[in-house]
Copies of this chain bind each other. A is one copy, B any other.
């Protein structure tokens, strides 16, 4: 027969509590609490005795109990899409910044079987004090509603209509730099493969039209529907290959899309940048993977992460202030995928 106490909590019997540590160290529970919170009020020798006892017992403070008692979780909830490399960059940068400010981070992924609402519900029920939503696709009205119930910061997404903070890069400026770079090279037939309902796509699409128009190329503006995935790039590439009036340059929705596109072109023997120039967006890791290094719009994940965490924490301290919108400047990084048209 199986030992009851061992079954109670996984492998190692009942999980030790503060009371166990207190007894082992010969002090009160409150004292142990003080020590683990690094609060003054415990003598040096006692402190050591407590830590020693805790270590011997394998004690680990219980986050759930802690949150309950303190009515604070000091936890930031991050919603992400697990397949986006740029979001991976963001997550990696969020961790150290949150830690610096004394916050924990909880991740919740969206997936085909798990929509944004469910991912957010999970974070909220875990008492996250603030939510960082990485590139959310939800409608502004939903975001606004969420913003009333919790502290919300959008990352890589603006929503001026919703009362929430946001961090993004200036899509207008990024797209303008990209298009102007191509125009200066001599391109006129510049196509845009958009990002569908991906974060920033709408803004980039409009900026594309405006910039084209500003350069007297309004009639050459053309958008192919896409998405922020390699597959979308591949599909767009196929489209292009069949197109009798093939453009001389393409601005992709993001890097993944650009890489998929270039791969399709390369297979068909269409040389980049000789026959067609390609510009990406994000400067994520994948931009090094194309047959030639990708010219792209760099978004600074580290700075975006920093700002997001600061916005969120700042708002926790003052719920009342008006929504703030941080817009960082993107930067065109010219690499090998763009050249003058033939």
Contact = CB atoms under 8 A, between A and B. Distances in A.
A324 to B, nearest CB: 15
Interface string A310-342: 000000101110000000000000000000000
Which of the four size classes fits the interface of chain A?
A: 35 or more
Number of copies: 2
A88 B83 contact: yes
Interface in A279-295: 285-286, 288-292
Nearest to A260: B289
Contact of A291 (B129, B230, B291): B291
Contacts of A319: 2, 6-7, 10-11
A211 to B, nearest CB: 29
Contacts of A274: none
Contact of A64 (B67, B108, B259, B291): B67
Interface in A83-109: 83, 85, 88, 91-92, 95-96, 99, 104, 106-109
Interface of A: 2, 6-12, 58, 60-65, 67-68, 71, 73, 82-83, 85, 88, 91-92, 95-96, 99, 104, 106-109, 111-114, 121-122, 124-127, 129-130, 147-151, 230-231, 234, 259-260, 263, 266-267, 285-286, 288-292, 316, 318-320
